Amino acid sequence: MNALTEFAVSPVLDVHALQLGIGGKDAQRKLVRDVSFTLRRGRTLALVGESGSGKTLTALSILRLLPDPPVRILDGHIRFGDTDLAHVTAAGLRQIRGSGVAMIFQEPQSALNPVMSIGRQLREAVLAHEKLDRKALDARVHELLELVRLPDPARIVHEFPHRLSGGMRQRVLIAIAMAGRPRVLIADEPTTALDVTVQREILDMLAGLQERFGVAILLITHDLGLVSDYADEVAVMYAGRIVERGPAQGVLAGPLHPYTRGLLGARPGLVRHGDGKPPRLAEISGSVPANLDSIAGCPFSPRCPLAGEQCRLRAPELLVAADGHFVSCFKQGLNA
Amino acid sequence: MSANLLEIDNISVVHHKNGQTFKAVDGVSLHLAPGETLGLIGESGCGKSTLARTIMGLYRAASGRILFDGADISGAKWRRRSRAVTRRLQMIFQDPQQSLNPRTPVGRIVEEPLLVHGVGGRDERRARARRLLERVGLGADAGERLPHEFSGGQRQRIGIARALALTPDLVICDEPVSALDLSVQAQVLNLLVDLQDELKLSYLFISHDLAVVRHMASRVVVMYLGRIVESGPVALLWDGARHPYTKALIAAAPSGTPGLPRREKRALLGDIPSPVDRPKGCAFHTRCPLKQKICTESDPALRSAGEGHAVACHFA
């Protein structure tokens, strides 16, 4: 996609220079640094990273779902319309949760109330956003269940969560999320707990909802494979920072950051082999550092095959490298 | 005597759940040659982990036979199996967090199989544990530390060292990299390949991740609700899958390849039924795009579809 036409698609949510930290003044540690991205109407941005990269923290901070204390927004803006979610009051936040920005989680089991019927949980969600009489309410619940392609809505409303499969529970959660007609949907690893064939159905269904209602989706995932199939844009996070961001196809076809390149090279199953020894996979040596503040320079430098003196002294900024493609690396695009 | 290291003949395993009984594994046969990696794929409820645990002797088979290097081991749970067999048959678990005792130092965890089997003297055992930990890429001081001091990838290396302590011939890997991040997953897969080469190991490699199985295995068995629906050489299955379930699995795996359009949508309907209420006829008919009347009535047998390739479908 051309970056110029992409800018024309109206921005819905703008995260700018977000910083998250944990702990008091004396022992403060930064968890997320300088994260910026824009969600656009009808488009999907994938936020990709491994455990500890800060992708889920970033997502949770948008709806201020992080417990404060200990986790605090230290700096930055989260603009949604005229509101800055980073500084909004509790009442203002309630207005936006669900009807402006909605969220679905990884574990549908723990996000549903086990002792409440599906119908009651859906009615509650609808009533949080609009006043309807019983008949209109039931019709709306029915409509939501059909929206997420749950078979036999008349029966499902009487069921309890434990009677449904994981895939059906995730559909119920998506129906609840759609109840407020949100403009932004944050999906935090929505299919990680599900089987691949079910994952496919759920993501295809979400893509259908996006097409129909123009909702902007922030897809949090550790699975790069999903990016090319479902995202328009991708932001790769490592150690609390976005290290590369750009059009999904462009980043996957021409990754510039050594971490992104490493991740793409580490994926198995790309080379066919039959008999004999399987080919070696490219490795990223080491693991994510536990204490990020201990690293002065680029956070990836201890694991980076290209790291030089400069990389260990200071952290590179996220700079534009090509049309809409940003990378934070002094040695971008070089080969090891 | 057979040339196969492991031969499973028509095995069934019955589980009990909420007062109901059901066959978690239903008439499965497979074989594994020395030095080979056999991939076993399928989604939740397909019986792949039950099958692994039955081979290990953690569950008892209701019927059928398990031959390990020609000896019938199906009758006995692991406590009753001969030491000669248990030594040669080891397992790596999915979750290194839960399969390592949190209060036991790592060196002792790796040493324990040697202790159980009465291998060597104390110093010899400790030296061997140290060598194993080094071989799987952990530092010299790893042995004194506790599991929680290690990252997920390192813990899986500990699990691998423990499984290799008795120099087994067959290692059952049950989702060994599913809990790991991608960059760490590659390290562990490379280690498993190197160890196989070095120690002439056979792997039964279980995963729900097709890409991982495609990388590791030379032959693949696909299971659905307790039965094998298709099996064959990995390359053949990838390009010429015959069973609609195998096709759907391959199509559902994210392409991850830029430039390719989103893969054509296949029409798989709904979720996987519970193995407790296995659908009548072909168990896959509730989700199958090819379903006809016969599929709801009669269960297709696994039949040969060419060299080393077998499929269980009325229409494939």
Contact A278 B215 (CB under 8 A): yes
- Percent of chain A clearing pLDDT 70 (strictly above): 94
Give me the residue label for tokens 């990269």. A53
Evaluate if residue B264 carries a pLDDT over 60.
no
B199 at the A interface (CB within 8 A)?
Answer: no
Evaluate if residue A6 carries a pLDDT over 70.
no
Evaluate if residue B123 carries a pLDDT over 60.
yes
Cis peptide before A69 (omega within 30 of 0): yes
Dist. CA A334–CA B311, nearest whole Å: 48
* Cβ under 8 Å to A: B residues 68-127: none
Q: Residue A289: closest CA among chain B residues belongs to which residue?
A: B151
Which residues of chain A lie closer than 8 angstroms to B196, CB-CB? 277
Sign of CA dihedral B138, B140, B144, B149: negative
Contact A226 B254 (CB under 8 A): yes
The answer to whether residues B123 and B149 touch, using CB atoms and an 8 Å cutoff, is no
The answer to whether residues A168 and B271 touch, using CB atoms and an 8 Å cutoff, is yes
CATH of domain B6-311: 3.40.50.300
- Interface probe for A, chosen from B48, B175, B183 (most Cβ of A below 10 Å), is B183
* Cβ under 8 Å to B: A residues 54-93: none
Which residues of chain B lie closer than 8 angstroms to A283, CB-CB? 183, 186-187, 190
Dist. CA B154–CA B146, nearest whole Å: 12
Q: What is the mean pLDDT of residues B265-269?
A: 62
Dist. CA A149–CA A144, nearest whole Å: 9
Evaluate if residue B260 carries a pLDDT over 70.
no
Dist. CA B48–CA B41, nearest whole Å: 7
- Percent of chain B clearing pLDDT 70 (strictly above): 95
pLDDT for A11: 92
The answer to whether residues B205 and B217 touch, using CB atoms and an 8 Å cutoff, is yes
Dist. CA A184–CA A11, nearest whole Å: 11
Q: What is the mean pLDDT of residues B2-7?
A: 86
B3 at the A interface (CB within 8 A)?
Answer: no
In the chain, the amino acid numbered A183 is: R
A208 at the B interface (CB within 8 A)?
Answer: no
Residue B1 pLDDT class (50, 70, 90 cuts): very low
Evaluate if residue B25 carries a pLDDT over 90.
yes
Sign of CA dihedral B200, B202, B206, B212: positive
Determine the distance in angstroms separating the CA of B301 from the nearest CA of chain A, rounded to an integer.
24
Reported ipTM exceeds the 0.95 cut: no
Dist. CA A284–CA B7, nearest whole Å: 38
Contact B254 A228 (CB under 8 A): yes
Minimum-distance CB partner of B193 among A253, A278, A284: A278
Under DSSP, is residue B93 helix (H, G, I), strand (E, B) or coil? coil
Domain ranges of chain B: 6-311
Residue A97 makes CB contacts below 8 A (sequence gap 6+) with: A63
Closest CA to A162 of B274, B137, B39, B23: B274
pLDDT for A275: 65
Under DSSP, is residue B80 helix (H, G, I), strand (E, B) or coil? helix
Q: What are phi and psi of B314, to 5 degrees?
A: -70, -25
Dist. CA B64–CA B29, nearest whole Å: 9
Determine the distance in angstroms separating the CA of B282 from the nearest CA of chain A, rounded to an integer.
18
Total-model pTM: 0.88
| Higher pLDDT pick, B146 / A30 | B146
Evaluate if residue A333 carries a pLDDT over 80.
no
pLDDT in tens, A283-316: 888 777 777 777 788 999 999 999 999 999 999 9
pLDDT for B141: 86
pLDDT in tens, A219-259: 999 888 889 889 999 999 999 999 999 999 999 999 999 99
pLDDT for A1: 47
Dist. CA A170–CA A150, nearest whole Å: 10
Q: What is the mean pLDDT of residues B202-224?
A: 93
Helix (H), strand (E) at residue B56: helix B48-56
Closest CA to A74 of A31, A39, A36: A31
Minimum-distance CB partner of A269 among B193, B211, B259: B211
Which residues of chain B lie closer than 8 angstroms to A273, CB-CB? 215, 234-235
Rounded mean pLDDT of chain B? 89
Largest CA distance in chain B: 68
Q: What is the mean pLDDT of residues A160-170?
A: 91
The answer to whether residues B158 and B110 touch, using CB atoms and an 8 Å cutoff, is yes
Closest CA to B113 of B70, B78, B148: B78
Closest CA to A195 of B253, B227, B255: B253
pLDDT in tens, A123-147: 999 999 999 999 999 999 999 999 9
Dist. CA A155–CA A151, nearest whole Å: 9
pLDDT for B75: 74
Q: How many contacts does A have with B, using Cβ atoms within 8 A? A: 144
A222 at the B interface (CB within 8 A)?
Answer: yes
B252 at the A interface (CB within 8 A)?
Answer: yes
pLDDT for B209: 86
CA atoms within 13 A on the CB side of B105: 11
pLDDT for B266: 56
Dist. CA A178–CA B298, nearest whole Å: 42
Which long-range contacts link B1-5 to residues 24+ away (Cβ below 8 Å)?
Answer: B1/B70, B2/B31, B2/B67, B2/B70, B3/B33, B3/B34, B4/B31, B4/B32, B4/B33, B4/B34, B4/B67, B5/B32, B5/B33, B5/B34, B5/B36, B5/B68, B5/B69, B5/B169, B5/B170, B5/B202
* Cβ under 8 Å to A: B residues 120-179: 151-154
B211 at the A interface (CB within 8 A)?
Answer: yes
Which residues of chain B lie closer than 8 angstroms to A287, CB-CB? 151, 153-154, 183-184
pLDDT in tens, A89-122: 989 998 899 889 999 988 878 889 999 999 999 9
Contact A195 B208 (CB under 8 A): yes
pLDDT for B55: 94
Contact B185 A204 (CB under 8 A): no
pLDDT for B95: 81
Contact A200 B183 (CB under 8 A): no
Please state whether beta strands A233-238 and A319-322 pair in parallel, antiparallel, or not at all (unpaired): unpaired
Contact B218 A51 (CB under 8 A): no
HEC-encoded secondary structure of chain A: CCHHHHHHCCEEEEEEEEEEEECCCCCCEEEEEEEEEEEECCCEEEEECCCCCCHHHHHHHHCCCCCCCCEEEEEEEEEECCEECCCCCHHHHHHHECCCEEEECCCHHHHCCCCCCHHHHHHHHHHCCCCCCHHHHHHHHHHHHHHCCCCCHHHHCCCCHHHCCHHHHHHHHHHHHHCCCCCEEEEECCCCCCCHHHHHHHHHHHHHHHHHHCCEEEEEECCHHHHHHHCCEEEEEECCEEEEEEEHHHHHHCCCCHHHHHHHHHCCCCCCCCCCCCCCCCCCCCCCCCCHHHCCCCCCHHHCCCCCHHHHHCCCCCEEEECCEEECCCCCCCCC
Helix (H), strand (E) at residue B112: helix B106-116
- When mean pLDDT is compared across A59-63, A165-169, A193-197, A211-215, the lowest value belongs to A193-197
Angle at B232 between CA A265 and CA B222, to 5 degrees: 75
Dist. CA A176–CA A170, nearest whole Å: 10
Minimum-distance CB partner of B254 among A151, A223, A274: A223
* Cβ under 8 Å to B: A residues 292-321: none
Q: Residue A166: closest CA among chain B residues belongs to which residue?
A: B271
pLDDT for A110: 85
* Cβ under 8 Å to A: B residues 266-285: 268, 270-272, 274
Evaluate if residue B140 carries a pLDDT over 80.
no
Q: Residue A205: closest CA among chain B residues belongs to which residue?
A: B265
Evaluate if residue A67 carries a pLDDT over 90.
no
Contact B262 A230 (CB under 8 A): yes
Evaluate if residue A276 carries a pLDDT over 80.
no
Tokens representing residue B65 in the block: 């036979």
A162 at the B interface (CB within 8 A)?
Answer: no
In the chain, the amino acid numbered B237 is: L
A131 at the B interface (CB within 8 A)?
Answer: no
